[in-house]
Structure 1
Amino acid sequence: MSASYPAERELIASACRVLAARGLADGILGHISLRVDDASILVRCRGPRERGLAWTTPEDIRLVGLDGVPAGEGELEGYQVPNELPLHSAVLRAQPDVEAVVHAHPPDVVAADLAGIAIRPIVGAFDIPGARLAAGGVPVYPRGVLVRNDALGAEMAAAMGARPVVVLRGHGLTSAAQTVEQAVLQAASVDAIARLSLRIRCAGGTLADLAAEDMAELPDLGAGFNTGTAWRHELARLEEDA
């Protein structure tokens, strides 16, 4: 493996561990990619000492083209790109402003969708970025397939449109953003809303969207708080659990 992009490889590895710690990608499934130039991405690959998302290391992050061809000497030696690399490629091609793509399998997101519960802005100050994301709509890709070729990737990207997150029926979700941190935090917000929605329904309650005047009153706390501080918290949780 080449020595290029050490900080970015460490970031993606840490983000994979955050996904696992948050229960968004349990076991060996799930992956994160980061665009590094017009033709290449760093992506979590499957290696000879695979132990799952919770034990991802920078060595597991490999530099490849959007087509999965290694983009550096030794990049795929002993490693395989994810079967669902076309999921990442399709989003990055469809949304030029996106740099990072997260694919995860949150059980509560899958359960809520299968129960007919959409991701809606039911919360306010509980999670301001999540409320705004939900208010913009979270589409659903209605096929429970492995997104393992360009045709399926294009279908999923079309269902996603220009939105930052799409739910994959019977499968999980895809989250896209300008940074790895933001893409992971978006996935966590969708998972939290799905979990709350299930609890409310199970308690016999009715889901209701936040009032428009309340949504308008929610402040923009800025990326420094919404992403920077939140991400330091996620990394601190990892250290605590280590």
Structure 2
Amino acid sequence: MSTTKPPQADGLAPLRAMIAQACRVLAARGLADGILGHISLRVDERRLLVRCRGPQERGLAFTTEADIRLVDLDGRPGVAGELDGGYAPPNELPLHTEVLRTRPDVAAVVHAHPPDVVCADLAGLAIRPIVGAFDIPGTRLAADGVPVYPRGVLIRNRHLAAEMVSAMGERPVVLLRAHGLTSAAATVEQAVLQAVSVDQLAGLSLRIVGAGGKLADLPETDMAELPDLGGAFNTQTAWRHELARLP
């Protein structure tokens, strides 16, 4: 368990706690097993909170507030002492910072390694709107397309991150071939829930094809009948559920 507390920058403690919870949600959903994956949140024009690597690393499932550190876009401490105690930004910090540099609509970035997403992509199965009321936000996301960054590399510098951002375009999620996914949104909650939806669609696709079925997109007439249940249900209620699932 992490014991070294970060500096008490004004107003950031609740955000650290929320990001730590979100990391645990990713792990509870099986999207970031082991010691891989991270979440970031823009704080201002030059700084972000991000899950850092600590001296007692145990993986996302055991993330605490102490693991969430304030850094700038170049990985330097956001305030003096922020990376004291053996903490360091993740190797793939550029994955987060390049999205934040180029997408003013984005405040939160999630990077995870969902096995079903990796398997479906390597099997040639795109994320498609194959369901309807089963997951309305996920269906709408898939209907507009989920691009793929075709390199299975560690995105550890701005050049590789720029390639990923180019593949992502203006979309909220990009798959990373043989690697995982990146999800971006205005809030941490939305970025995590998007990743959960993509993972569910990938898992269903694998099960359908594995059972001998064929994938088919939801008919346009059915798509037109799907209501927008609003953020209070799609995000707020869904997020309370995710938190309730945590051990």
Letter paired with 1:177? A
> Shift in Å at residue 73 of structure 1?
1.9
- 1:38-78, CA deviations, whole angstroms, 9 ceiling, x for partnerless residues? 00000000001111100000000000001101011211111
Q: Deviations over 1:179-216 (max 9, x none)?
A: 00000000000000000000000000000000011111
Name the counterpart of 2:244. 236
**Alignment counterpart, residue 218 of structure 2, candidates 210, 217, 237:** 210
Q: Measure, in 2, the Cα distance between the counterparts of 1:103 and 1:190.
A: 13
CA distance in 1, matches of 2:172, 2:47: 21
Match of 1:10 in 2: 17
The Cα shift of 1:142 comes to: 0.1
* Corresponding residue number in structure 2 for 1:39: 46
Match of 1:145 among 153, 163, 177: 153
Structure 2 gap segments, 5+ residues each: 1-5
What is the CA distance between 1:170 and its match in structure 2? 0.1
SS of alignment partner, residue 144 of structure 1: coil
Residue deviations 1:145-173 (CA, integer Å, cap 9, x gap): 00000000000000000000000000000
- Report % sequence identity: 75
1:112 maps to 2:120: yes
- Name the residue aligned to 2:230: 222
For residue 81 of structure 2, the aligned residue among 74, 81, 93 is 74
Structure 1: any 5+ residue segments left out of the alignment?
none
> Which of 21, 26, 33 in structure 2 is aligned with 1:19?
26
Partners of 1:224 and 1:66 in 2: CA distance: 32
Post-superposition CA distance 1:125-161 (Å, at most 9, x none): 0000000000010000000000000000000000000
Aligned residues: 239
**Which of 44, 64, 70 pairs up with 2:71?**
64
Q: How far apart are 1:88 and its partner, in Å?
A: 0.3
TM-score (norm 2): 0.96
Tell me how large the CA RMSD over aligned residues is: 0.5
Query: Could you list the runs of 4 or more consecutive aligned residues of structure 1 that deviate by over 2 angstroms after TM superposition?
Result: none
Deviation at 1:93, TM superposition (A): 1.3
How far apart in 2 are the matches of 1:192 and 1:153? Answer: 26
Separation in structure 2 between the aligned mates of residue 3 and residue 186 of structure 1, nearest angstrom: 31
Partner Cα separation in structure 2 for residue 237 and residue 199 of structure 1: 24
Aligned equivalents of 1:146, 1:188: Cα separation in 2: 22
Distance of 1:235 and 1:135 partners within structure 2? 28
Match of 2:174 among 166, 182, 189: 166
In structure 2, the partner of 1:91 is: 99
Aligned-pair distance for 1:229?
0.3
| Secondary structure at the counterpart of residue 8 of structure 2 | coil
Cα drift, residue 90 of structure 1:
1.0
Pair 1:195 & 2:203 matched: yes
